[in-house]
Structure 1
Amino acid sequence: MKDSNEQRIQNQFGAFCTTVLKNEARCIQRECARRREQEKPLDELTASELEQTATWDKYFMDEHVFEVQGLPVVVTGNLLAEAIAQLPEGKRDVILLSYFLGMSDREISERLNVVRQTISKRRLVTLKELREYLMKEGFEWPDK
């Protein structure tokens, strides 16, 4: 009696496992069919469709590195980098140290061995020159 009961339980378990596997196989087939309907292989896309799906990383695309007193300073933006590059070295150093490295006029004056008032005046004059250059090149300032 015990053997037949164990056999019956094994048969029931086997039938249960078979049913679960068949149902899972059906689910997988439905999922694959759904994907085939919704997805399109990349080799079947037209050039314009491929272009719409493309993304371009902007890492380092418009970054320019200036060196000030042995320190690298990264400036992002071609127009801004061009404007800074056209400045004389002394003015360029003041702008880069002040706005890109966050140094105060006092710190810059100590680093460059120049009077603080000279640094302040040089920074203000250079900012005006940069603003004029950028406006001449067509840069539009964002509204405040």
Structure 2
Amino acid sequence: MKDSHEQRIQNQFGAFCVRVLKNEARHIQRDYASLLDQEKPLDELTASELEQTAVWDDYFMDEHVFEVLGLPVVVTGNVLADALAQLPEGKRDVILLSYFLGMTDREISEKLHIVHQTVSKRRLVTLKELYEYLVKEGFEWPDM
């Protein structure tokens, strides 16, 4: 009797498992059909729909490369790059070497073959010119 009772419980459990699996399979099929109704192949999208899916990266859009002594110097920001582009090459080189490549006045004077004091004077005059240009262009200075 114990064997038939265990057999009946195993059969009930087996039937329960089959029902659960069938129901789960039905739910998966329903969910899959629902997804297929919502999805559309890319080749069936209109130009307008396809454009809505596009993402445009703007990396490097406001980066400008200046060359100083054969070295590329990347300047970020259109206004600043425009201001630097307005400068004569000698003044621009001092600013780029000093602020963008981190060189000391002595290193700059050796690289450009000019007197050490000239580097300092040229940088001060050029910074004033850059400031005036940026103010004229409406550049808003961040609060400090």
What is the TM-score of this pair, normalised by structure 2?
Answer: 0.71
| CA deviation after TM superposition for structure 1 residue 72, in Å | 0.3
| CA deviation after TM superposition for structure 1 residue 9, in Å | 8.6
Aligned to 1:129: 129
Aligned to 2:70: 70
Aligned to 2:90: 90
For 1:90 and 1:142, locate their aligned partners in 2 and report how far apart those are by CA, in whole Å. Answer: 28
Q: CA RMSD in A?
A: 3.4
Gaps of 5+ in 1: none
What is the TM-score of this pair, normalised by structure 1?
Answer: 0.71
Aligned to 1:18: 18
Aligned to 1:118: 118
Aligned to 2:102: 102
Partner SS state of residue 142, structure 2: coil
Q: How many residues matched?
A: 136
Change (3 A) 1:9 1:108: farther
Q: Identity across aligned pairs (percent)? A: 74
For 2:59 and 2:26, locate their aligned partners in 1 and report how far apart those are by CA, in whole Å. Answer: 46
| CA deviation after TM superposition for structure 1 residue 40, in Å | 9.1
Gaps of 5+ in 2: none
Structure 1: 4+ residue segments shifted above 6 A: 7-10, 39-42
| CA deviation after TM superposition for structure 1 residue 132, in Å | 0.3
For 1:123 and 1:26, locate their aligned partners in 2 and report how far apart those are by CA, in whole Å. Answer: 76
For 1:116 and 1:32, locate their aligned partners in 2 and report how far apart those are by CA, in whole Å. Answer: 77
| CA deviation after TM superposition for structure 1 residue 85, in Å | 0.5
Change (3 A) 1:31 1:87: same
For 1:92 and 1:71, locate their aligned partners in 2 and report how far apart those are by CA, in whole Å. Answer: 13
